[in-house]
Amino acid sequence: MESKDGGYLEPVFLCTFPPLVGDIIYDVSWFINDNELTWAASNALSFSELNSTALRPSNWTGNYSLNFEPEQNKYYVMEGVRSQIKLTSTIPFSCPLSLSKEMREAFCTYYFFVWTPLEDSCRNGMASNGIAMANQPCGVTFNFRDWGNRSVHINVTGYVDGMINYNYRTTYLHIASTRNPMDPLGIWDNLNIGGIEVKVVDRDILVTGRQCISSNDPHMTTFDGLPWENQRTGIFVLYQHKTLPYAVHVIYSECVPRRATCNCGVAVRNGFSYYIVRTCEIISVQNTKMLAVPYEKEYLCEAADLQIVKSGKHYTVTFPSGTQVSFYISSWNNFIGSVRIRASVSDIESSLGLCGFTNGDTSDDFIPKDGSHPTDPNTFALSWRISMDSNNSLFSMSSSFYLGTSWMYVFNSGFEF
């Protein structure tokens, strides 16, 4: 309805009913939460005067606040799975009368912050406690017509904490505003609604024991537990995620001439962030040259892209999904003793590379690069080897991820394992 000064469309409450028979005069009283708003009452009116007795925002703003209706007061959100929380405004939003219909759609928008008491800030991805919000910035915007049967959504994801949680982890979502510029009536100012309960349901239990191993020389184990041998030389994709920009490359080079190769490089990548450790200088089938001192290189676009922990010669690198890479440098020969990757729930039916396709079934682990059906171990292993002149290696001299090395990639004899 038009505001009294004619400047705005404002939401009002109005008594509407068919006229009663007889010579009747009417009294109109208004209540909010059982409290009478005596100042908004009207007395001794004829039926035709009832239209002027609306309860207007000016009658209650400052004393009472509005609310949103979530579809439910309690939500269950799975770790690593995006869910939607639906919010509905039960009253219309206000807007200047002077705006055209199109301009009202474009400009009369209402923004509300969404926050949880445990978070100091809203973060993207899955790197926060409890739940992560995909809405960026962290909030919801209602457009002029988003009320009644039109709802808005908050997207939340259960954070994968890499632990099997026996209890649900509970978070409360709050919705707040300071003031909304398109609302001169102050209806939506200083809103603070708490208490949408979000319970995070564990899924880590689904990946218990799923660990991919590349242990010298290298004896391999896929995520699903299939053991196999890969005594080959070169740079290999040990792990790659189908949809997330995650990859782990490893270098294998001779450690027992013509008999065995060992890990001597690990590169972990999330998008444009990476962490690389390398201990061999020249990759070879019979004459590996080790670096006198192992080399590491770290570049993080965002601190949360990779969590890197070093303890002596042991290294742990964790992706935001909870997938964790660990390895150590052997004290006696400087090779990397083993590389282990612990799967997270995000890897289920989404892992590629030498770690295999993880779904709890070993029969389909050997999915080759550019293939969708399992193959023999030989074809599988070679498909995930990165060619020497490729730019795709995270160790490559020409790779934009790694520049300025004199490392070489040499097959001394042309002999290949």
| Binding stretches for Ca ion (CB under 5 A) | 161, 163, 165, 202, 204, 224, 357, 359, 361, 364-365
What is the number of other CB atoms lying within 10 angstroms of the CB of residue 298? 13
Return the structure tokens found at 296: 């590491």
Q: CB of residue 359 vs Ca ion: minimum separation in angstroms? A: 5
In the bound state, the residue with its beta carbon closest to Ca ion is 204
What is the number of other CB atoms lying within 10 angstroms of the CB of residue 239? 28
Q: CB of residue 408 vs Ca ion: minimum separation in angstroms? A: 36
Q: Are 189 and 176 contacting, i.e. CB atoms less than 8 angstroms apart?
A: no
Q: CB of residue 224 vs Ca ion: minimum separation in angstroms? A: 4
- 188 in the Ramachandran plot: left (φ > 0), alpha (ψ -120 to 50) or beta? alpha
Q: CB of residue 354 vs Ca ion: minimum separation in angstroms? A: 13
Closer CB to Ca ion, residue 257 or residue 360? 360
Closer CB to Ca ion, residue 264 or residue 352? 352
Closer CB to Ca ion, residue 210 or residue 269? 210
DSSP-assigned beta bridge partners for residue 28: 42
Q: CB of residue 199 vs Ca ion: minimum separation in angstroms? A: 13
Q: CB of residue 128 vs Ca ion: minimum separation in angstroms? A: 14
Closer CB to Ca ion, residue 204 or residue 305? 204
243/350 Cα distance (integer angstroms): 7
User: Long-range CB contacts (< 8 A, 24+ apart) of 296-305?
Assistant: 297/402, 298/274, 299/272, 299/273, 299/274, 299/275, 299/401, 300/273, 300/275, 301/271, 301/272, 301/273, 302/273, 304/123, 304/125, 304/127, 305/270, 305/271, 305/273
Closer CB to Ca ion, residue 243 or residue 363? 363
Closer CB to Ca ion, residue 83 or residue 359? 359
